[in-house]
Chain A
């Protein structure tokens, strides 16, 4: 957001949310209108700094005259629109989306909001059966669209569970936690980095985030900007530092502080948030509402912090 308005003023529209007349600028989404009203709306694939792709469908609302529910995150408000956010239909679909996701993906590291919504909507992911065992490494990457990969044991709910991919020193890809929100693909592509190292491959339940031929990141186009980590909502993409500490049981957010500073590497002036635990930087983020970064960084700002804390004896 620029401090000086650079766009012409937008026309205001009147619409109705849960019976209350709201006035929003033209182009505002239903989600914007709901947030203006203080209506708590669950989201998963939505992020303030990315183009909404409305894939998760957990933010759906009812719009009078529409045959199906509509995604609040991407649908713009039209004059006179009558929106309901708390009908049985809306609550049912939101709950089911949470259950379907929870039954197929490990969402334990999703935001605290997500867990709160799961409780509020009384989502019970285990009603589809116990989750299946993790697949062998690479098995999901070989699944061929249109060729049936059935359920060997229908009493267990098929999942995307699989071993963590560790192929570089900076971050890991734990696709058993991937909800396929497309955020990393957007951040790697046209929404931020324009590197296009990853895309969605495969189809249906076998769809997955992949490099070409599932090659390791070091031979892919990846430039290690880490913007995919910055937008991942479920911890599927994670700093190696965080992943290793979690594995060792030493990761403790209660003991962490966040220090805001400006990246020292170049003149762009990206704002950094240094997450520090036990006097060591454990990960770096940038505020999504920052004018300079919109939350996105480059490899230097994201990962180039070791010089701050590497002791002299470590340097070679």
Chain B
């Protein structure tokens, strides 16, 4: 490839920012030529390099991008294509501080809309700006903001007001991430003692590996090493651990398939790009118990024969990123990562990668592309990740919650682990209770708990109001009515009952909620987050939003029934013919709201 660069040059600051990540530019030397595989392998550093540049300057200039292209041997057009894929990157000059204000479903009903209106009235002041944001994963602290601050650490803050925004953008701001322990169950010592996944939250210092070990940490890895990799996988398989990311794939089967691949190297990835609207459980675990994620991923690496693990973490999670980074460094210092893990002769290390504002990158194959320095567009399957994942190599990719379930499985044994839950849905599950509940937060319940009991555990509907609807499973899930409170939350019940647990979202709406407004926001979400690769999703999400807007305004093309039929036609092609899960579920919540609550049948909602 003949790399054709732009003529723009980087400023000294831009050069410093990129060199800070990539090291100083190698001295020009007639005798040394770098090229071929060596430089092509650098492509994976494109996203981190863009982050470094953006974090220093607040935008990606032509000179800055050009310098990255030169250092990584990436064609400028492709690097531009990658930079413009992400909502957190600007390729036009902008103020150094940008506040992302969540106006997504959980926040908009709890002050998010009001905050947006106040900021609109305020106007811009030049040093900072703000923009509406999709779900920031802080629904239990609604309304949430995320301040992207070039030259200073990013912060995410809950229960935000205009004063919060002002504090975050002030030149002498001392604001740091809140990091509250928003898992109400752990406040009660008796309840806490019965928890498996959340028991350390708020109790064990997330920055200390000694505290983690004193609280039982690294017993699971020790047990895994005793069992051997095959024994470990057998234990996971016997425990019937099913993936918690939404697809419910058996983790043991996935790990075994990767372990058996002859192609090398193998990779393990922790999918921490939690972006499903209404989901914040993984963030809380990473903020408050980061070592559990490090340990679980190490076990995955040991079991599948991988020497490298990645944690791909959501770009809007500054505190979780900081704590995980620290945990990885601590683990390395103490010999839990590195060339000889626990002096047991296996090599494993973890690298953290930040996303940059793209819901689609939570889709596993899109995540691979993003990691490789490409646009986060999903790949067609097959081939599946277990044979051809990141860098085309066998890859075991698991969501944070799935991974940390490996710890109790190894600590309790498969049988002990399966002693709670149901036969097909073993163990416990994390639920994200938000919206109009008394005590929003992350809750751990055994599989089989009913929807009603889960809501009651969070104090029930706030202010004693009546329940109108629940969004179950996130924006890719569906709405259910109060008649479904006895629904049991297990994989098998969900399948049979036609609802979905998705990422464990239980978002509660009281009788005063405007469901039409929520449906419109969800349609907008999918339109904004579609990667644009395939026609059904790229155009379908636009047509879906347009049709809904027409129905709301009453200015329909033809009759209301025509519009509803059109929506269904679009929903069918998105579900049947889209490349990935985003398009396939882009109409699910909208459709469920319309059919369950008769939104546009004239009776109103």
Contact = CB atoms under 8 A, between A and B. Distances in A.
Contact of A58 (B79, B81, B132, B535): B535
A180 B531 CA distance: 12
A93 B572 contact: yes
Contacts of B84: 144-145, 201-203, 210
Contacts of B2: 194-195
Nearest to A60: B577
Contacts of B382: 75
Interface size class, chain A: 35 or more
A74 B382 CA distance: 10
Interface string B573-584: 101111100001
A60 B576 contact: yes
Interface in A139-161: 142, 144-148, 150-151, 154-155, 157-158
A159 to B, nearest CB: 10
A164 B588 CA distance: 38
A104 B546 CA distance: 13
B530 interface: yes
Interface string A82-93: 000000010011
Nearest to B374: A199
Contacts of A128: 543, 546-547, 557, 566
Nearest to B581: A68
B559 interface: no
B532 A207 contact: yes
Interface string B511-550: 0000000000000100111111111101111110111011
A230 interface: no
B131 interface: yes
A247 B448 CA distance: 68
Interface string B337-351: 000000000000000
Interface string B123-154: 00000000110100000000000000000000
A92 B573 contact: yes
B21 interface: no
Interface stretch (B85-93, B164-172, B186-194): B85-93
B578 A57 contact: yes
A213 B80 contact: yes
Contacts of B534: 54-57
A275 to B, nearest CB: 29
A89 B576 contact: yes
A220 interface: yes
A131 B6 CA distance: 37
A151 B78 CA distance: 29
Interface size class of B (residues with CB under 8 A): 35 or more
B555 interface: yes
A93 B557 contact: no
A170 interface: no
A55 B535 contact: yes
Given A89-B576, A93-B576, A97-B577, A151 B65 contact: no
Q: Which of B86, B92, B527, B577 has the most CB of A within 10 A?
A: B577
Contacts of A101: 535, 539
A145 B538 CA distance: 13
B529 A146 contact: yes
B377 to A, nearest CB: 8
B76 A148 contact: no
A103 B539 contact: yes
B62 A213 contact: yes
Nearest to A198: B77
A204 B579 contact: no
A145 B535 contact: no
Interface in A47-80: 54-58, 60, 68-69, 71, 74-75
A26 interface: no
A221 interface: yes
Contacts of A147: 87, 131-132, 528
Nearest to A97: B535
A117 interface: no
Interface string A172-204: 000000011000000000000011111111111
B121 interface: no
A28 interface: no
B29 interface: no
A145 B557 contact: no
A127 interface: yes
B566 A203 contact: no
Nearest to A98: B535
Given A127-B557, A154-B546, A158-B546, A96 B572 contact: yes
B539 A74 contact: no
Contacts of B528: 146-148, 204
A204 to B, nearest CB: 4
B262 interface: no
B79 A212 contact: yes
Contacts of A144: 84, 87, 90, 92
A66 B77 CA distance: 37
B213 interface: no
Contacts of B78: 196, 199
B81 A200 contact: yes
14 contacts: A56-B535, A92-B572, A96-B569, A127-B566, A144-B87, A145-B358, A148-B132, A154-B550, A203-B84, A205-B527, A205-B538, A205-B542, A210-B77, A212-B6
Interface of A: 54-58, 60, 68-69, 71, 74-75, 89, 92-93, 96-97, 100-101, 103-104, 127-129, 142, 144-148, 150-151, 154-155, 157-158, 179-180, 194-207, 210-213, 215, 219-221
Given A146-B528, A154-B555, A205-B538, 11 more contacts: A54-B380, A57-B579, A68-B578, A68-B584, A97-B573, A145-B85, A157-B543, A199-B75, A201-B77, A203-B358, A212-B65
**8 interchain residue pairs of minimum CB distance:** A146-B87, A207-B532, A221-B4, A196-B75, A199-B81, A96-B573, A154-B549, A212-B76
